[in-house]
Structure 1
Amino acid sequence: MTTISTLSDANVNAVQDATLVPGIQAALAAAGAVLVQRFETKPEFLTRDDVVEGIYANDRASLDAMRPALTALRPEAGWAEDELESGALPDGEWWITDPVEGNINHIHGMADWGVTATLVRDNVPAVTVVHLPLTGDFYTAVRGGGAFLNGQRITPSVKTSLDAALVGSGQASPRETSDTFAKIARSTEAMLDAGLVLRLSVPATLQLIQVAAGRTDLFWQHSAVRSGLVSGALLVSEAGGVVSDLEGGPWTLDSTGFLATTHQLHAEAVSILAPHA
């Protein structure tokens, strides 16, 4: 049973976490400015090694710009170093960032990329900011405090059936197994039949902000990468949507599947995706 003291603690945390938002925005703006300077629309890669080095160089440049400011905001918080890791973290506060969310797009001259930072407390996202440097947009959410785009509250879609829905999915990381690829293929076929239009793209966060803002209706993913999901999970839930695993249960950092949609579409989506989880 939820107690009055628990509710009071949650409210206090929400108020305190909201004070972190301007500092997080400033840190991500600094990183975004570096990435805009590095953005080229005509890449010239020859090999996989060239691509990988381009990704790492971007990450280093962005982290150098954002990490000192985020550390100063929460000096005792840990830092989740590997952006491709999944699973739970030790208790306490942790920064989970993606210094270039959609890095593969950035280095190939495409505009679908951003910068994210989420403070996680005891494995629950507490406050997040997603910055899109090419447009200047900031998506922000605080647990218990709502979700916003540039200070204006956002809410999810009001559609009531998947046959009218714009749905999306994508590959979580280059490290997927053949079993995960098979699940992706099966669930994609099922959603092609159930939804109106299907988008397959990366990164996950840039699809999840669209669910939170009501522009698209559903996003699902097999397997999990913490940095690709925590920001969007908090934004969708605080906007008024539903976040769960693919079988409809609570989503945690340990979950092997992810679903974000609206209350109206959740049950129908689970009925389609659960057999392929």
Structure 2
Amino acid sequence: MSTALPFAADTTLLADVTAAVETAGRTLRDRYTTHARGVSLDEVVAEIYANDDAVLAVLREPLLQARAGSQWAEDELAGGALPAGEWWVVDPAEGNINHVHGMDDWSVTATLVRDNRPVLTVVHLPLTGDTYTAVAGGGTHLNGQKLQVSAKTDLGATLIGTGQAKPGETDATFRRIGDSVTAMLINGLVVRVSVPATMQLIHVAAGRMDAFWQFSDVRSGLVAGALLVAEAGGTVTDLAGAPWHTGSRDFLAAAPGVHVGVLKVLAPIV
């Protein structure tokens, strides 16, 4: 099949996906409060699940109907490669923990993954109305305006980010995060540690930040940002320098001018 055919179909699909995600975003915005909801762990988790359920109720079917034959990746926190074919990888409340604590760093994301490569994504920020989009081969856009990653080449001038992918990571992963933050504090300018991943990766795609790394294979937090950064001219690999895909163990997205420098700092941390 000609590569032009999937690109044309994906570009046509983008409008429907954008509309569905923005509609779902209004549902999540309506549930938002500026104060924290829940005190106990059980209460916080209940609020998180309620957000997910409310958004999925208005988002799942429109996406499946928009792409005949597409499938749904059920487990939001799952990692690893998907079976062949087209899959919707969705985070109904990316940054859900922030949402239920009254913070403003959250979004709704939907990404079409084809044979383990993201090919279309929409990230909508309901509080600002901003929508980030990308189609493989078509560039990255914010509200229709094309984005470009940072032009920096000096690692010492970089603003770099990382974060925890999910609760309950292994002790070894937490140690890697700590060691990597220390290493980047020494070699970079400023390190930002926060969640969720997508809310940092949009800044890398827009050239506001220079790199983001994560020791995780949680698909829903990475596929959207991976495509946004790559289509904005960035380099997206694992921490061995190989091209990133949904089966990769870890993740690095960076401006090309600093990618090798970041990789040299992080690659030895195991």
TM-score, with structure 2 as normaliser: 0.98
| Aligned counterparts of 2:226 and 2:237: Cα–Cα separation in 1 | 9
* Residue 89 (structure 2) aligns with: 96
* Residue 206 (structure 1) aligns with: 199
Aligned partner of 1:163 among 142, 156, 175: 156
Alignment of 1:43 with 2:28, yes or no, is no
% of aligned pairs identical? 56
Aligned partner of residue 81 in structure 2, secondary structure: coil
* Residue 235 (structure 1) aligns with: 228
* Residue 275 (structure 1) aligns with: 268
Alignment of 1:138 with 2:135, yes or no, is no
Q: How many residues align?
A: 270
| Aligned counterparts of 2:94 and 2:249: Cα–Cα separation in 1 | 20
Alignment of 1:69 with 2:46, yes or no, is no
1:1-277 alignment to 2 at 5 Å?
A: 9-277=2-270
Residue identity in the other structure for 2:186: D
* Cα distance, 1:11 vs structure 2: 2.2
| Aligned counterparts of 1:44 and 1:238: Cα–Cα separation in 2 | 37
Contact kept, 8 Å, 1:18 with 1:142, in 2: the verdict is yes
| Aligned counterparts of 2:43 and 2:241: Cα–Cα separation in 1 | 41
* Cα distance, 1:44 vs structure 2: 3.9
Contact kept, 8 Å, 1:11 with 1:144, in 2: the verdict is no
Contact kept, 8 Å, 1:91 with 1:122, in 2: the verdict is yes
* Cα distance, 1:16 vs structure 2: 1.1
Contact kept, 8 Å, 2:109 with 2:124, in 1: the verdict is yes
| Aligned counterparts of 1:200 and 1:11: Cα–Cα separation in 2 | 39
TM-score, with structure 1 as normaliser: 0.96
Where in structure 1 do 4 or more consecutive aligned residues deviate above 6 Å? none
| Aligned counterparts of 2:181 and 2:249: Cα–Cα separation in 1 | 17
| Aligned counterparts of 1:75 and 1:174: Cα–Cα separation in 2 | 34
For structure 1, the residue ranges without an aligned partner over 5 or more in a row are none
| Aligned counterparts of 1:140 and 1:253: Cα–Cα separation in 2 | 19
* Cα distance, 1:255 vs structure 2: 1.1
| Aligned counterparts of 2:72 and 2:234: Cα–Cα separation in 1 | 28
Residue identity in the other structure for 1:26: A
Aligned partner of residue 112 in structure 2, secondary structure: strand
* Cα distance, 1:29 vs structure 2: 1.2
| Aligned counterparts of 1:130 and 1:103: Cα–Cα separation in 2 | 14
| Aligned counterparts of 2:245 and 2:168: Cα–Cα separation in 1 | 20
* Cα distance, 1:43 vs structure 2: 2.1
